[in-house]
Amino acid sequence: MKIGELARRSGLTAHTIRYYERIGLLPYADRDRSSQRDYDVSILVWIEFLGKLKTTGMPIREMLRYAALRELGSGTGPQRRALLERHREQVRARVAELNACLLVLDTKIDGYADSDKRIDDYDAELFQHRQQSSRARQARPR
C-alpha cells in the first residue's frame, strides 16, 4: 500500500507517517522498484494502537520506548506490559479526575435547570397575579 492509501485509511497525513517513520514510531517501509514506500496492510493495526496511546495522553517518548521494545521482539513482553500498566494507572487517574469534573458540571447544569424552573414559576405567578388584578379592576364599578 502506498503512503497516500495508508494516509487515507489511517487518518494520518503522509507528512505524519513520514515523521513517525523518521523518529522510530513506525518501522521503515519497504520500497518498490520506483523507490516509493510500500506498506503492508498490518501497519494499520499498529497505527490504530499508537492512536489509542496518543488519545490516552501517552507522551511520544514513552510511545517510542514501547516501539523500541516491540522491535526487539517477544522477549521484551514483560517490559512492554509494565510500561502499559503504568500508563493504564495514569489513564485511570485522569478518568477519575474527569469524572469528578463531570459531576461538577452536572451539578452546575442542574442548578441552572432549577433556576429556570424557579423563573418559570415566578413568571407564572406574576402572570396569574396580573390576570387577577385585571379582573378585579374590570369588576369595580365606574
Grid cell locating 3: 503512503
Q: Dihedral sign for Cα 87, 88, 92, 94, please.
A: positive
What pLDDT sits at residue 71? 94
Q: How do the pLDDT tens digits run along the chain, 142 residues long?
A: 999 999 999 999 999 999 999 999 999 888 988 888 999 999 999 999 999 999 999 999 999 999 999 999 999 999 999 999 999 999 999 999 999 999 999 998 888 877 766 666 766 776 676 677 666 666 666 5
What pLDDT sits at residue 90? 98
Task: List the chain domain ranges.
Answer: 3-103
Burial (CB count <10 Å: 0-12, 13-18, 19+), residue 52: exposed
Between CA 13 and CA 20 the distance in angstroms is 11
Calculate the CA dihedral of residues 125, 126, 128, 129 and round it to 10 degrees.
Answer: 110
Between CA 83 and CA 100 the distance in angstroms is 26
499508537: which residue's cell? 50
Look at the chain and count its residues: 142
What pLDDT sits at residue 113? 77
Between CA 59 and CA 38 the distance in angstroms is 28
Cβ pair 63, 50 in contact under 8 A = yes
The CATH architecture annotation of domain 3-103 reads Orthogonal Bundle (1.10)
Between CA 117 and CA 51 the distance in angstroms is 44
